[in-house]
Chain A
Amino acid sequence: MNELTVNELHLDYGTGAAANQILKGVSMHLKKGEVVALLGPSGSGKTTLLRAVAGLESPKAGTIQIGERNVFDGAQHFEMPAEHRNLGLVFQSYALWPHKTVFDNVAYGLKLRKMGSTEIAARIKEVLTQLGLGHLGERYPHQLSGGQQQRVAIARALVYNPPVILLDEPLSNLDAKLREEARAFLRELIVRLGLSALMVTHDQGEAMAISDRILLLNNGKIEQQGTPQSMYETPDTLFTAEFMGSNNRLPGKVVQREGQHVRLLVDGASMQGVARGANVGTEVTTMIRVEEVKISATQVDNAIELPLLTCMYLGDRWECLFERGGAENISLRAYSRHKLEAGKYWLHMPADKLWVF
């Protein structure tokens, strides 16, 4: 059963000739207990889509349904106000009310729902304990750390059991170390409480770690959607492939196509690659994920030979940069377990990982 259905949503900022199209026909759905990430670069419309679902932006056309309820129907000019949609919303800045204590911040949604004060106290105790905030009820937001503020914001959105919880860049205000912990905490919380969540993020790592399904938005349209694995390992478009991971681009020329198999000429060497996407012409973009490039000191097939420029220490491994300047400048990045000596290396690229778009 779908908790949330969005159909052909169009949204403009401004009107008439100055209208700036933000969403150009987006459709999506969210099943019960599913976590969907809206991923995309800034300006792709992901936050606007979330705000339209929450009722904070007015779309121009399309429909939005929450469960069985119609909350927006462009054809009938129906728009349910945000306060009647009964959704949980977590803001990027947390938007905690500075004049209320943690308890009052979380309790506000229940008070509006006319719950008795003893019930409220019990429910809040339960939620704050679930989020590891049990002892902080009397504090004010400015007395909390960033991570605690974020959990209060989540508690405030969860406390009245909304069918869907919307998260707008929930981790982007935390520093890098805390972000990894919060990521694990958020995933664990969502699974433990069986939440249905829609999360906006611009960080593909975050999207892959937390969500069951990713919707990649590009310029107001859905570029591709699927599970994190399918998005990462079998991208359909160059945009998806480039957005989802760290990549090397190679100057390749198509020599011959046999179904999915493509024979290429890269830097004078003959290579085997695999065709992805819809392009069947000769003007192609060739790319490979950084972690798929294998470094070899001796000659191997499906490889090109390049001199080492430098190695960067990343802690668990080295990232090595190979480059040859000159007329046909070519550079490649690859990971290595150990620091490499200066010299020339063969860089092997598995045929099924060398993508031709």
Chain B
Amino acid sequence: MIMPALAYAGVLVFFLGFEVFGLVLVLGDPEGHLVLPTYLYKLTNKLGTPSYHLMAAVAVCLVMVTMPLVMIQRWLLKSANKYVSIKGKGARSKAMPLGRWKWLAFALLAGWLIFTIILPLSGIVLRSFVQYWGEGVHLADVLTLQHFRDIFDQPSLVRGIVNTILIGVVGGALAVACYSFIALAMHRKQDGITRLLDYSVLVPRAVPGLLAGLSFLWVFLFVPAWLDGILKGMDNGVALWLSGHVIPVLREVRSTIFALWLAYSVVWMAYGMRLISTALLQVGPELEEAARAVGASRGQVTRDVTLPLIKYGLLGAWLMVFLIFEREYSTGVYLLSPGTEVIGAMLVSLWAGGSTDLVAALSFINITLVAIGLGIALRFGVKLHN
């Protein structure tokens, strides 16, 4: 039943492996373990001159790897109809009783949670409230709120926090709306355009966020200039007006949070789309056909039947996209400029600058934001599993 989700998760995790940047930067780098993204990042930093040509070459290679994987996934899911589970007959699914195995499963899960989530998180929280730590240091003596005061003294950091919230909540909602439009356009159609879209949404995901951010920087740098050139060449009133008014706006987009939102939305499109299309896949086709038979146009079917049925899927997608946007860092590194600071990207640059105190405090703030978002979403009836 969950084959589509599993197949897609497999493909995504594989790409994440290419993409992981922060963990390796912090843990692997001091011991000389390099992966592609950190290698690229260091190339730029160490050579002094950004080696964009190398980065672009690597990106193309990664895109090449994407294609066969998407093909495998498509082949696995050829008959997507097999996985329809919301039918018009109004049946409910039940939890599987595990019996005595329940305790083993519980222990495994608890252990997993402690080692992967609780221990690291409590370390971060603790570090953000102490001046320093180490062997022989009595933690109660070094407790402080100074790191947080430092953060709120720096306008760029405060702006970063506000931007992060904005991009998570508003940007997340906008992104889900965009993804839904695309997913609905692809829904119930099996033609060449759908196939092309299916491949193309995964391509940005195959590129490390760092490179994706960089390519968006290029887009915002070069496209206005290029358009400007074309418009000037056309030499008529409208073109001149456009060149005089629209192009400067386009240029300014680069230093607004909109640029960042666009980059995030495109990079995470594959993931967000899949959340939505998995929900769509569970809506039985005859529910939509029934609406058309009683006289609803395609738009009315979508509004009155399809969207209400995937309501929880959409809320869940918003939550997931919110969580991702809150903690995304690599995409924003190259788009970081006054006005577009986000916590993730600031963490990377602060870490490079060696200010561990601020990194811990900012991380704590970020974790709190994510937790609040999760709490609100759960309050409003988002089901993490159904």
Residues of A in contact with B (beta carbons under 8 Å apart): 54-56, 81-84, 86-89, 91, 93-99, 108-109, 112-113, 140-144, 146, 149, 156-157, 160, 173
Contact = CB atoms under 8 A, between A and B. Distances in A.
Contacts of A89: 289-290, 293-294
Contacts of A98: 86, 88, 90, 309
Closest 10 CB pairs of A and B: A142-B90, A95-B88, A109-B294, A89-B293, A95-B290, A95-B286, A141-B90, A82-B292, A112-B295, A99-B308
**Which has the most chain A C-beta neighbours within 10 Å: B86, B89, B284?**
B89
Contacts of A142: 90-92
Contacts, number: 91
**Which has the most chain A C-beta neighbours within 10 Å: B92, B289, B292, B293?**
B293
Contact of A83 (B90, B292, B309): B292
Contacts of B58: none
B287 interface: yes
Contact of A160 (B90, B291, B294, B304): B294
30 contacts: A55-B293, A56-B289, A56-B292, A81-B297, A82-B292, A83-B295, A83-B297, A86-B295, A87-B293, A88-B293, A88-B294, A89-B289, A89-B294, A93-B87, A93-B88, A95-B87, A95-B284, A95-B286, A96-B88, A96-B290, A97-B287, A108-B294, A109-B294, A112-B295, A112-B300, A113-B295, A142-B91, A143-B90, A149-B89, A160-B295
Given A91-B286, A142-B90, A144-B90, A97 B293 contact: no
A108 B291 contact: yes
Contacts of A143: 90
B12 interface: no
Given A93-B89, A97-B291, 17 more contacts: A54-B289, A54-B293, A82-B292, A82-B293, A83-B295, A88-B294, A89-B290, A95-B284, A95-B290, A96-B88, A96-B90, A97-B287, A99-B311, A141-B88, A141-B89, A149-B89, A157-B293
Interface in B82-120: 86-92
Interface in B327-342: none
Contacts of A113: 295
A151 to B, nearest CB: 14
B324 interface: no
B85 to A, nearest CB: 12
B296 interface: yes
A96 B284 CA distance: 11
Interface in B251-307: 284, 286-287, 289-297, 300, 304-305
Nearest to B293: A89
A99 B284 CA distance: 13
Contacts of B304: 108
A94 B290 CA distance: 9
**Which has the most chain B C-beta neighbours within 10 Å: A88, A109, A143, A156?**
A109
